[in-house]
């Protein structure tokens, strides 16, 4: 199966899509997609087939068989990038941290703890907290910190209140997710 420009744009407008830049085949798991720096583009939604084609044409020449065109909708914006498919969590973590990426996307079948896949947030290791097995990552498992969205939904915020222990920032409650996101952001700035 291949994704035409129209099919790719349609999937991107519904949430997200990824296709190989050489074969146009959709990305399938196992594997983790990590964006390559310098190949991002943001436009207003919806993504048109012409925009999808133009982005692909711009990046297909230097693409390898591991490079994919990705697009996803967030709010009223469409984000396009060139991502590399990494076969395992370790190589994705190394690439994500080296290239100062916030997150990668597990296509499914890569993470033992979350076989359905999802976002993996980089640079969120904290010494000490790994004594809790749920916060320890491995070559085949993400830690709870790597799976936490930076801005939790209200239900997640309530469920994680025991971890945050009433932490506040400027008088407002702050979640452990937001703490991890800030630490990771600062590490990327300092190159730690």
The pLDDT-based confidence of 130 (bands split at 50, 70, 90) is confident
Verify that 129 and 185 share a domain, yes or no: no
Are 92 and 179 part of one and the same domain? Answer: no
pLDDT tens by residue, 54-108? 999 999 998 999 999 999 999 999 999 999 999 999 999 999 999 999 999 999 9
- The residue range of the domain holding 84 is 5-147
169 and 120 in a common domain: no
Residue 68 and residue 108 in one domain = yes
pTM value?
0.82
pLDDT digits (tens, 9 = 90+) for 138-186: 999 999 889 988 876 666 666 666 666 667 778 877 777 777 777 778 8
Residues 119 and 65 in one domain: yes
Burial of 114 (0-12, 13-18, 19+ CB in 10 A): middle
Same domain, 19 and 82: yes
Same domain, 169 and 97: no
The verdict on 163 and 88 lying in the same domain is no
What is the C-alpha separation between 70 and 52, in angstroms, rounded?
10
């Amino acid at each position: 199966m291949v994704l035409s420009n129209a099919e790719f744009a349609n999937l991107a407008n519904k949430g997200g899509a990824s296709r190989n830049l050489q074969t146009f085949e959709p990305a399938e798991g196992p594997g983790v997609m990590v964006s390559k720096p310098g190949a991002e583009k943001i436009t207003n939604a919806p993504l048109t087939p012409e925009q999808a084609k133009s982005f692909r044409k711009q990046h297909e020449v230097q693409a390898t068989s591991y490079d994919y065109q990705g697009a996803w909708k967030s709010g009223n914006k469409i984000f396009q990038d060139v991502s590399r498919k990494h076969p395992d969590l370790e190589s994705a973590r190394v690439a994500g941290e080296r290239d100062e990426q916030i997150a990668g996307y597990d296509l499914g079948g890569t993470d033992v703890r979350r076989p359905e896949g999802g976002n993996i947030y980089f640079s969120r290791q904290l010494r000490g907290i790994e004594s809790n097995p749920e916060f320890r990552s491995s070559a085949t498992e993400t830690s709870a910190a790597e799976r936490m969205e930076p801005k939790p939904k209200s239900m997640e915020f309530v469920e994680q209140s025991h971890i945050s222990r009433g932490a506040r920032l400027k008088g407002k409650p702050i979640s452990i997710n937001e703490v991890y996101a800030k630490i990771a952001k600062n590490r990327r700035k300092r190159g730690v």
